[in-house]
Structure 1
Amino acid sequence: MACFLVSGSWILTATRADATYFLAAIGAGLAVLANAAASIFNRKPRLTTAADRVTLVRAVLVASCAATTVPALFSGTAPGMPGVVLGGAAFILDAVDGAVARRLACASPAGGRLDVQTDAALVLVLSCAAAPTVGPWVLVIGLMWYAFVAAGWFRPQLKRTLPVKRLRKVIGAFQPFALLVALTPGVPGGIGKAAVALALVTLVASFGRDVVELEQSHRKWTGRHSSTELVN
């Protein structure tokens, strides 16, 4: 939190953000970090690994990216290179925390959840940043994961753990990459919109496949359970 307050304030000052939006920008960044902090404090025991600390550095970068996005949203423009650099750094570090977890054998379900939540926050922030120039439809990308989590409150089977698939990881990594392409100054608008549109199509297909897989798995489990009860 302290790291973000210092870096976020400096970035907003350096980019000459309007003082009117300063508190809103800081609040957006703190919301990102509060989510990461809640993930840590909900652990039992409350311990962090080396991989978690890399992820927390990513969370600070995402929070700083969110802070630069708020003034741009109010003015209806893209955040420019500061947002791209911060978002790009957070995107690149996504490969580091996984490598650290494997190298030091400190991977854990709690660490995986923190990593996924940070990824989702980055995609949401980048989607908000791209909305003024690409269009409001790009927000679907940023809200998709949160909608999936919310659906799990009503359909508990959607909370089940899915088998690890390389294609899902590739599609997940393509989302922030496509958004960063669209946000990078100098990239033709057509290329940026095409990249984001492709990202949305692949994301919808990926989530759709996961939902079907989870529902089918639930039906098979229910069927076996019912058959067992009849036999007994």
Structure 2
Amino acid sequence: MWLKIFRFFCVLLLIILPKVLSSSSQNENEENSNNESINCLDIINKINIFASKEPASKVVYIQNCTKMIDNTCCFETKQLKFHHYFHPFDNSSFINKANELKLTFKKPKAPVNLKPKILKKAVQTEHNLLNNDTNSMFVLLSVLLTNSEKNYIAIRNYIYEEIARNEKIKNVLKAITPENYLKVRDTRDKGIFGTQLELLAASHVFDVCIYLYMHGEINHYWVLFDKELPNIDNMENKKCLYIAQTFTKYYYYHIKDVLS
């Protein structure tokens, strides 16, 4: 109700303001009127973001792998219609998990405590791409979780082991079965491009939420991976990893910020 009242008075102000201005200072007052209009509309837009239940950016999660094309799953997705936030993961909290999994953990830099902000379009920095080989995803996860590239093979192996045993992931793959998926995807001796299913498995085995930024020439959206899905309705207090996939290939890089 308060939002409708505010909008009414804002629109009313835009209508009556030019009529009450003095003709002797018309140019100056017109400029002031324009400034009032812009400020008023800016306020409305900001209030709409926080009052609405709709997220500022489209965020989806994967539900089912319906078929395989070029050894990659095609997924049905569902939109998550609540607010999402940019709240970067502090990997100092990952030390115990790294020790449990026998991963080499380098001492992190002093953590930067950032307040969460509404998740919007990513500030793209593809020059942060660590490498462009087939292990790109696993190397990036290794760096973000343990501050070292050295764990990427172990991380890759943990991910494929999780795909084989995790019941939620088995449900995602029920149309093709995990066994069939692993026949074409699992490889121990050489690298393989990671896909969204591998990120889903990573969110389970490493107990971390991950946002994947998908961007094209026209639109953009995020894919959320979290072991609690679909039973989530609030992400404000969760610290997550934010990564992006290059437009043409399965290379991945770190998203360090989003637009304000």
Q: TM-score range by the shorter chain?
A: under 0.3
What's the TM-score, normalizing by structure 1?
0.25
Which has the higher Rg, Structure 1 or Structure 2? 2
Indicate the structure with greater strand content.
2
Task: Report the TM-score, using the length of structure 2 for normalisation.
Answer: 0.23
Task: State the structure with bigger RCO (CA 8 A, min sep 6), 1 or 2.
Answer: 2
Structure with bigger helix share is 1
